[in-house]
Amino acid sequence: MTRAEFIAVVAPVAVKVRVDGGPLFPSVSIAQMVLETGGKLNSWNNLVGYKVGDGARTPYWDGKAVSKKTWEVYEGRVETPTADFRAYASIEHCLKDQALLFFRLQRYKRVIDAKTPKEQAEMLQACGYATDPNYASKLWDIIRRDQLDKHDREAEKAVEALRELTEQVAKLRKEVETLQKRSNMDIPPWAKNAVEAAVRAKLIDTPDGGSFDFYRLVTILHRTGLIPEAE
């Protein structure tokens, strides 16, 4: 697997975790995975060097682990001890478990609060995530070399799109509630499927007693896919 192929696999996951509320810029997350693994995937899906630590289970880690040799720097000395690393069902679980670590421990507050990828890389080192004294500079070199900042922009656009969609749904919900209160009539046959889908999606609470405009709007929303069918 080439470096480019590795990045193509992990970048979408890093972007998704960021959009879901993760603290790391995708560029930093991707660079960290490249640095920690040498750009190679592994079967236990731990690409960030996350050790077992206190062993507390999380929603993303069920206790499985693998023992591997690692590379550490202690008081200027390079050592290669064996350590236990968390094993995951997926790369996404790995990154989300790492995010929980950052949110849980006060020592990583500076990582979360970092305003730029470069600052965040520096804070990862300053907060003791790794023992390598050159950890931050190595991350930044990878970010620049592989132009990983484009994935930060991708995540920003996705977050903004999600915010706009949430606002649109809230606006539509208010419009539906307003129309529903205007008049009372039985559900027209042509609107029945749409109304039932709206109830399942919790867009409306009481399907009966709406107006013609209300049922027409619900039907349009359903046909355009804004009211999803139940899975």
pLDDT category at 191 given cuts 50, 70, 90 is: confident
pLDDT category at 42 given cuts 50, 70, 90 is: very high
Q: Is 84 a catalytic residue?
A: no
Given this model, what pLDDT does residue 85 score?
97
- 100: tokens are 């929980």
DSSP letter at 191 equals: G
- 229: tokens are 């069918």
pLDDT category at 175 given cuts 50, 70, 90 is: confident
Number of neighbours of residue 99 by Cβ within 10 angstroms: 21
**Dist. CA 41–CA 34, nearest whole Å:** 9
Predicted structure pTM score: 0.73
Given this model, what pLDDT does residue 165 score?
82
**Dist. CA 161–CA 148, nearest whole Å:** 21
- Phi then psi for residue 130, to 5 deg, are -135, 160
Residue 208 has pLDDT above 70, yes or no: no
- The residue from 54, 84, 92, 97 that is catalytic is 97
Given this model, what pLDDT does residue 184 score?
62
- 108: tokens are 């990583």
Kindly give, in sequence order, each residue whose CB lies less than 8 Å from that of residue 204, ignoring residues fewer than 6 positions away.
176, 177, 180, 195, 198, 218
- Phi then psi for residue 117, to 5 deg, are -60, -40
| pLDDT tens-digit map of 9-38 | 999 999 999 999 999 999 999 999 999 999
Q: Is 196 a catalytic residue?
A: no
- The residue from 5, 72, 160, 164 that is catalytic is 72
